[in-house]
Amino acid sequence: MRSMGYMNTIVYPGTFDPVTRGHVDVIERGARLCDRLVVGVAGIAYKSPIWSLDERVDMVRSATQHIPNVVVEGFDDLVVHFMKRMGTSIMLRGLRPVSDFDYEVQFAWANRHLDPNVDIIYLMSSQEHFFVSSTLIKEMYEGGGDIRDLVPASIADRIVLGLSRARGGTHD
């Protein structure tokens, strides 16, 4: 059995391409569970992110600068290896109703297979963020929708500019 002080560091991994208000909600709530919440921004090449790893790290830092116990770091290897470097075996994940469950079960199994000591804490998304995802934001923007209220205000213009560049033009 672990001691009561075992949750001094938790890792919240993701690609954050782009970071959403839903992500920030999970980060704010997760930060209350520990002394230090490390947001791990994954440099996963197979997902073909719009923003570089450094840009995504910078955007997450900007969106979470108001949370004193949050640290944002990029990583290019397995999340279990990143967690070991951060000195924890506890991972935080956000869940939206039904849509995330199948993936999260597979993700949990894979990470427990790689490191049986990994424990995952799930936080249900707040109701206003149930259906917000980075993919949905990109699709809404591509269709001409205004996505500014779905992303952190501090980086909304930067996200719109990045999405505009990715589609090869300008769009507000």
Question: Does residue 113 have an active-site annotation?
Answer: no
Q: Residues at the annotated binding site for substrate?
A: 15, 47, 79, 93
Catalytic residue among 56, 89, 125, 134: 134
Angstrom distance (rounded) from CA 26 to CA 64: 11
Q: Residues at the annotated binding site for ATP?
A: 15-16, 23, 94-96, 104, 129-135
Q: Say if residues 105 and 118 touch (Cβ distance below 8 Å).
A: no
Token couple for 135: 């993919």
Catalytic residue among 47, 85, 113, 165: 47
Question: Does residue 66 have an active-site annotation?
Answer: no
Catalytic residue among 23, 56, 125, 138: 23
Angstrom distance (rounded) from CA 156 to CA 88: 32
Question: Does residue 47 have an active-site annotation?
Answer: yes
Which residues 6+ apart lie within 8 Å of 1 measured at CB?
none
Catalytic residue among 29, 61, 84, 96: 96
Q: Residues at the annotated binding site?
A: 15-16, 23, 47, 79, 93-96, 104, 129-135
Rounded to 10°, the helix 101-114/79-86 angle is: 60
Question: Does residue 138 have an active-site annotation?
Answer: no
Active site residues: 23, 47, 96, 134
